[in-house]
Structure 1
Amino acid sequence: MLMEHHGFSGTPITVGGGARLSVRRAEDCARFSLRISPEHASAAAKAFGCELPSKIGDMAVSGAKLALCLSPDEWLLLAPAGEGEGIVARFAALYDATPHSLVDIGHRETGIEVQGVAAITALSSACALDLTEMADGTGTRTILDKAQVVLIRRSAESFRIEVWRSFASHVWGLLEAASHEVELGL
């Protein structure tokens, strides 16, 4: 069956030359959902090439790889696009000794980068979480308006949204509307 892919437009949004607010599509990457017993996390970390944090919401970074703990036995794994097949092969070799579920979610999700001094203001327009309380180097599942997302806070002014492609245009529209409010100082 032939399926056509319609991505969201994702024309970059900037306010104040990007210093106040910059919203852009994130570079494509390999994305996986990993479910594994916590006692086997070290074996999975070796296969992935990055530590798997044990505390929900904590994030580990090794080079261009990122592992975010979403539940006691679930991690979101992000890696450079070209490394996906190698990661799948290493986890396949691990399976007999360490049962787990590694699901490629790269076709389901896309990323949006939100940066600048007004990043929290823009994101807070559609998110019920108090983002000022979210520590740098953490992430969480949350809702932006009606879309479930994973929100990653890399630093004080840098966030990444992982969202299902089917909701990406909606989330982008929310951020675009918020950018107008930021520009007007509302």
Structure 2
Amino acid sequence: MTSTLAAGVTITELAPTTRIALRLADPATVPGLSLPTEVGARSADGSRTALCLGPDEWLIEAPEADRAAVLATLAGISAPHSAVEVSDREITYALEGPAVLDLLATGCPRDLARMPVGSGARTVFDTAQVVLTRETDDRFHLTVWRSFASHVRALLDLAQRELAAGL
């Protein structure tokens, strides 16, 4: 579902992807996958991305068609680790437009204007934990657990209407 109002912000629910929550002490032990080591940094290898959420935590995303290949890569890790597929747990919204920072400011306490393009962070929107990635200057992806998605979407839609009305 996509919605756009006069405020110039489009909200689109994105197609499902393969998501893996990876915990690992040494990212260099993952064959064939480049993991960033700075918290908030994101690496891309074709259509696969890895976002460093903590000193030993990454969120790996890939198209559903790459699921088997990603799982095979992770199966090659010889060091102690945890790799949990969380694909069905989360929904991602693309938020795009000139007022996207204003839209996100209605529920997120972070100064997102300072977030560099290509980076990401775990944060909150209202009371729900989310992962935000900044795709371009005026485009973010907001990933939220499915159980909170309707709450977050309702708040985004309300904020979108308020921005369009100039409130």
Aligned to 1:44: 30
Q: Distance in 2 between matches of 1:89 and 1:60?
A: 19
Aligned to 1:88: 71
Aligned with 1:107: secondary structure?
Answer: helix
Aligned with 1:126: secondary structure?
Answer: coil
Among 29, 35, 43, the residue aligned to 2:23: 35
Q: Within the alignment, does 1:22 sit opposite 2:10 as a pair?
A: yes
Aligned to 1:62: 45
Taking only aligned residues, the RMSD between alpha carbons, in angstroms, comes to: 1.4
Among 113, 116, 120, the residue aligned to 2:94: 113
Aligned to 1:128: 109
Q: Distance in 1 between matches of 2:43 and 2:49?
A: 6
Q: Distance in 2 between matches of 1:58 and 1:45?
A: 19
Q: Distance in 2 between matches of 1:101 and 1:79?
A: 18
Unpaired stretches in structure 1, ≥5 consecutive residues? 1-10
Aligned to 1:12: 2
Aligned to 1:170: 151
Percent identity of paired positions between Structure 1 and Structure 2: 37
Q: Distance in 2 between matches of 1:123 and 1:44?
A: 34
Deviation at 1:61, TM superposition (A): 1.5
TM-score (norm 1): 0.85
- Aligned partner letter, 2:2: P
Q: Is the 8 A contact 2:31 2:73 kept in 1?
A: no
TM-score (norm 2): 0.94
Q: Distance in 1 between matches of 2:132 and 2:71?
A: 24
Among 129, 148, 154, the residue aligned to 2:135: 154
Q: Distance in 1 between matches of 2:28 and 2:63?
A: 21
- Aligned partner letter, 1:124: A
Aligned to 1:5: none
Gap change, CA 1:157 and 1:146, over 3 Å in 2: same
Q: Within the alignment, does 1:76 sit opposite 2:64 as a pair?
A: no
Q: Within the alignment, does 1:179 sit opposite 2:160 as a pair?
A: yes
Unpaired stretches in structure 2, ≥5 consecutive residues? none
Deviation at 1:45, TM superposition (A): 5.6
Runs of 4+ in 1 over 6 A off after TM superposition: none
